[in-house]
Structure 1
Amino acid sequence: MRRPLARALAALAATALFLPAVAGCSGEPAGLVIYSGRNENLVAPLIEKLEEHLGTTVDVRYGGSAELSAQLLEEGDETEAGLFLSQDAGALGALSKEGRLTPLPPATLDKVAPNYRSSAGDWVGVSGRVRVIAYNSEKVTAPPGSVHDLVKPEWKGKIGYAPANASFQAFVTGMRVLEGDEATRTWLKGLKANSPKAYDSNLNVLDAVDSGEVSLGLLNHYYWYEKAAEKGADKLRAKVHYLPNGDPGGLVNVAGVGLLKGADKQQSAYAQKAADFLLSAESQRYFAEETKEYPLAAGVEQAEGVPPLDSLQPPQIDLGRLDSLKATLAMLQDVGMV
């Protein structure tokens, strides 16, 4: 969410005013209505394939995952939607906590490892992304071994990050869950004191690392692999470092889906088929090959050059607990980062 805290929180309440206008494809009644926190440019090809798979029209209403989650909580059983496709686990966790998701059948859940699905069995991840440190190989010979090292004086003025980006905020929420609010606030203050350079997006952070404007950058792994596929890895001065030993800076977050409680019988049936389609080999290959995200369903491998997910050492966390975005935004504002 690329806005100051006041606007971000106001947007949660205002979403009901704009959602009806952010609507999908056809004037005819849709067989399935999806609220999507994933970008239209990213998922539109999959939606077209989904319509063919279901044999019905699909109406997709796009927005930020946090705003859409808040909207669905407000709509309750009156929602027209059958499926929520979220960019991150936290928004799904917020719905799960309020009992707004329908339990998924074991056959759907079991396609994905337990740490990438709801512990309550009511949402499942469809693609994964890993937080990494990008570093300029001409300026940095040994990248930091922990995100906690970024508060050391040697990195003053040399770090790029995107504090208003949802993925950075999810990482901060993960640190709060893993290490507590006091430790997270202390780390944020230390990072702020090291004069990091703020950018609008992960991609801009990566470009700054590659150009040497900064030495290190905090971002999601797939930005580097997309750029490497476009330009050639050997043409990039930026390299990518996966943090070991369960470091909070190596959080694996997921995009996922949940079936909405209160949807009518037809919506629910189509939503279930849609969830299974997004976990199909066809969809999983799309995430791996087109976006360089991690496929989460068993049997589909990551893109060439991307390290296997089971070779990493991410922190162990219940991803549903990434639902406290408001508290994270308040903390970031308090330390002067948004």
Structure 2
Amino acid sequence: MIRVTRLALVGALLPLTLAACGPTDEQAPASDDTTTDAAADSTGEEPAASSDGTLTLYSGRNEELVQPVLDAFTSETGIEVEVRYADTAAMAAQLLEEGENSPADAFLAQDAGALGAVSEEGLLEELPQETLDLVADTYRSADGTWVGLTGRSRVLAYNTEAVPEDELPASVQDLTGPDWTGRVGVAPTNASFQSFVTAMRVLEGEDTAATWLEDLAANDPQIRERNGEIVADVDSGAIDVGLVNHYYVYELAAEQGVPPEELDVALHFFPDGDTGALVNISGLGLVGEQPDGDAQALVDYLLSDAGQTYFVEQTSEYPMIEGLDGPAGLPALEELETPDIDLNDLEDLQTTIGMITEAGLL
């Protein structure tokens, strides 16, 4: 694994900030404005005596999605959250540029790769073992510096009128063939796409990943800035298929006020552990020393039944804690035929971004 240096990663990510997808187009309903005088966190413990009652969160997930659950956290604990919103790549780059002088207390990222890159520079603190034990080893860092909050599967969204089920590809590798010329939507600036490419590098080798990117670029891909745009265009018939995370179809259904099955876009989960079926996480890490416990209280809340239920019901993502069912209408997380990969191996974003750029997709 090539180690990502701070300056190298900042240099790779900052130029993408203007071109990147920006805040994702994930949707969530308005929050309940009811407040309480409760000062206890979700575990029932009082905040540390030295708490100043505020924390600063760098969020790579957008305001419309995240703010409702942060409001619920504040209502539950009395701790205010000051949030800086941007896409995950930009937030990671800012943290790496600021280093130990960052005002951030916590980093909420769209994928494991960005968390790993920031952790690699020693900017994330080790989480308590009782926090880590809430989440399966597969979905947390090996060194204990970040933990998954939700699970999201890579899928092929397809137009049910244009693509019969018996013509769906068995592998993501098939999408560079002549049958798919001009038909495949991708969002190369999106963190989830970049982590998927990193996974291909890890699982299938640098040469295979480079060839796939080059062949995709030569196959007239339909480039979009955001996954939500891809899903909307697949539903309308403007694109036949698109590589996205699973929950964007549910987002579009919510926007249109219809059940997902009434859309003209459906989900294809690649079988047999194909790289295209990568399950990544959104996750959280604590930045620097945390003497007052406020940021840890946020982790505790987001991994509580209340926090996890919010993500299942409002964003259709998979929960990370035991005892909760996944989103209705989706296969259970343990039923997905996922590739055998350690998410800790996805931190080398610099090389991946360079390869995507060299292939002509950025």
1:113 is aligned with what amino acid?
A
Instruction: Select 2:357's aligned residue among 328, 333, 336.
Output: 333
Report what 1:199 is aligned to.
Answer: 224
CA contact (8 A) 2:53 2:294 kept: no
Match of 1:283 among 307, 311, 316: 307
**Structure 2 partner of 1:260:** 287
**316-325 vs 178-187, which deviates more?**
316-325
- 1:176 to partner: Cα distance: 1.5
Aligned mate of 1:135, from 158, 174, 189: 158
1:60 aligns with 2:83: yes
Which residue does 1:20 correspond to in 2?
none
Partner of 1:313: 337
Partner of 1:251: 278
Equivalent residue of 1:298, what SS?
Answer: coil
Contact kept, 8 Å, 2:13 with 2:93, in 1: the verdict is no
User: Which sits farther off after the overlay, 169-178 or 39-48?
Assistant: 169-178
Using structure 2 for the length normalisation, give the TM-score: 0.81
C-alpha distance in structure 2 between counterparts of 1:328 and 1:96, whole Å: 18
Task: From 62, 82, 98, give the equivalent of 1:75.
Answer: 98
The farther-off stretch of 120-129 and 29-38 is 29-38
Structure 1 outlier segments of 4+, above 4 Å? 5-8
Aligned to 2:325: 301
Contact 2:89 2:191 in 1 (8 A): no
**Aligned mates of 2:233, 2:162 — CA distance in 1:** 13
Give the one of 238, 241, 247 matched to 2:265. Answer: 238
Q: CA deviation at 1:138?
A: 2.0
Deviation of residue 69 (structure 1)?
Answer: 2.4
Matched residue SS, 2:199: helix
Match of 2:138 in 1: 115
**Pairing partner for 1:9 from 1, 9, 14:** 14
Aligned to 1:156: 181
Shift of 1:256: 0.6
Counterpart amino acid of 1:174?
Answer: A
> What's the CA shift for 1:44?
0.5
Tell me how far 1:148 sits from its aligned partner.
0.7
Summarize deviations over 1:195-247 as a string: whole Å, max 9, x none: 12112221221122222222221111001123345322342222111112221
Kept in 2: contact 1:79–1:262 (CA 8 A):
no
Provide the C-alpha distance between the structure 2 equivalents of 1:160 and 1:10, rounded to a whole number of angstroms.
Answer: 23
CA distance 1:188–1:126, change in 2 (3 Å): same
Q: 1:64 to 1:208 in 2, by over 3 A?
A: closer
- Which of 44, 50, 55 pairs up with 2:73? 50
Counterparts of 2:100 and 2:260, CA distance in 1: 49
Paired positions, count: 315
Q: Which of residues 188, 195, 210 in structure 2 aligns to 1:185?
A: 210
Distance in 1 separating the partners of 2:100 and 2:360: 39
| Aligned match of 1:16 | none
Q: Does 1:33 align with 2:56?
A: yes
Residues 177 and 50 of structure 1: CA distance in aligned 2, closer, same or farther (over 3 Å): same
Change in CA separation of 1:299 and 1:58 when aligned onto 2, cut-off 3 Å: same
Cα separation, 1, equivalents of 2:98 and 2:259: 47
Sort the Cα spacing of 1:159 and 1:11 in 2 relative to 1 into closer, same or farther, 3 A.
Answer: closer
* CA contact 2:105–2:287 (8 Å) conserved in 1: yes
Q: How far off its partner does 1:186 sit? A: 0.4
Whole-angstrom distance in 2 between the partners of 1:99 and 1:78: 13
* Cα distance in 2 between the residues matched to 1:314 and 1:285: 23
Q: Say if 2:174 is the partner of 1:169.
A: no
> Contact between 1:92 and 1:320, CA under 8 Å: does it hold in 2?
no
1:93 CA drift (Å): 0.4
Say if 1:135 and 1:74 are closer, same or farther in 2 by CA, change over 3 A: closer
Q: State the shift of 1:30 in Å.
A: 5.4
Matched, 1:273 2:278: no
CA RMSD of aligned residues (A): 2.0
| Cα separation, 2, equivalents of 1:212 and 1:82 | 44
Q: Secondary structure at the match of 2:316?
A: coil
Find the aligned partners of 2:260 and 2:99 in 1 and give their Cα distance. 47
CA gap 1:30/1:71 in 2 versus in 1, 3 angstroms: farther
Instruction: Give me the whole-angstrom Cα distance separating, in 1, the residues matched to 2:222 and 2:87.
Output: 25
Aligned partners of 2:317 and 2:326 also within 8 Å: yes
Counterparts of 1:33 and 1:9 in 2: how far apart (Å)?
21
Aligned position for 2:127: 104
Equivalents in 2 of 1:64, 1:137: separation in Å?
A: 31
Q: 1:233 to 1:34 in 2, by over 3 A?
A: closer
